[in-house]
Structure 1
Amino acid sequence: MKEKLTQKDVEKIQQEIDHRKLVVRKEAIEAVKEARAQGDLSENFEYYAAKKHKNQNESRIRYLENMLKTATIVSDDSKDDEVGMDDIVEVYFEEDDEIEKYKLVTSIRGNSMENRISIESPIGMALKGHKVGDRVEVKVNDNYSYFLEIRSIDKTGSEDEEIRGF
Structure 2
Amino acid sequence: MTSVPLTIFGANLLREELHQLKTKERRIVIDAIAEARSHGDLSENAEYDAAKERQAFVEGRIAELEGKLSAAQIIDPTTLEADGRVVFAATVDLEDLESGAKVTYQIVGLDEADLKLSKVSVTSPIARALIGKSAGDVVEVQAPSGPREYEILEVRYV
Query: TM-score of the superposition, structure 2-length normalised?
Result: 0.71
Question: Could you list the runs of 5+ residues in structure 2 that have no partner in the other structure?
Answer: none
Residue number in structure 2 paired with 1:36: 37
Tell me the distance in 1 between the aligned counterparts of 2:104 and 2:42. Answer: 50
Tell me the distance in 2 between the aligned counterparts of 1:37 and 1:82. Answer: 61
Indicate whether 1:22 and 2:1 are aligned: no
Residue number in structure 2 paired with 1:110: 113
Residue number in structure 1 paired with 2:138: 135
Instruction: Return the offset for 1:135.
Output: 1.5
Once the two structures are superposed, the pairs formed by residues 27-66 of structure 1 within 5 Å of their partners are 27-66=28-67
1:39 partner SS: coil
Q: Report sequence identity in percent.
A: 31
Instruction: Return the offset for 1:56.
Output: 0.6
2:77 partner SS: coil
Q: Which moved more, 1:32-41 or 1:83-92?
A: 83-92
Kindly provide the CA deviation profile for residues 106-130 of structure 1, in whole angstroms up to 9, marking residues without a partner as x. 2212245775322343421433565
The answer (yes or no) to whether the contact 1:89–1:103 under 8 Å persists in 2 is: yes
Tell me the distance in 2 between the aligned counterparts of 1:15 and 1:115. Answer: 21
Tell me the distance in 2 between the aligned counterparts of 1:11 and 1:112. Answer: 19
1:89 partner SS: strand
The answer (yes or no) to whether the contact 1:92–1:151 under 8 Å persists in 2 is: no
Tell me the distance in 2 between the aligned counterparts of 1:71 and 1:82. Answer: 23
Residue number in structure 2 paired with 1:101: 103
RMSD between aligned residues: 3.3
Residue 103 of structure 1 aligns with an amino acid whose one-letter code is Y
Residue number in structure 2 paired with 1:8: 9
Kindly provide the CA deviation profile for residues 61-105 of structure 1, in whole angstroms up to 9, marking residues without a partner as x. 0000111122222232368x7756363633315xxx244635222
1:47 partner SS: helix
Q: Which moved more, 1:65-74 or 1:99-108?
A: 99-108
Residue number in structure 2 paired with 1:149: 151
Question: Could you list the runs of 5+ residues in structure 1 that have no partner in the other structure?
Answer: 158-166
Q: Among residues 116, 123, 126, which one is paired with 1:123 in the alignment?
A: 126
Residue number in structure 1 paired with 2:94: 90
Residue 23 of structure 1 aligns with an amino acid whose one-letter code is K
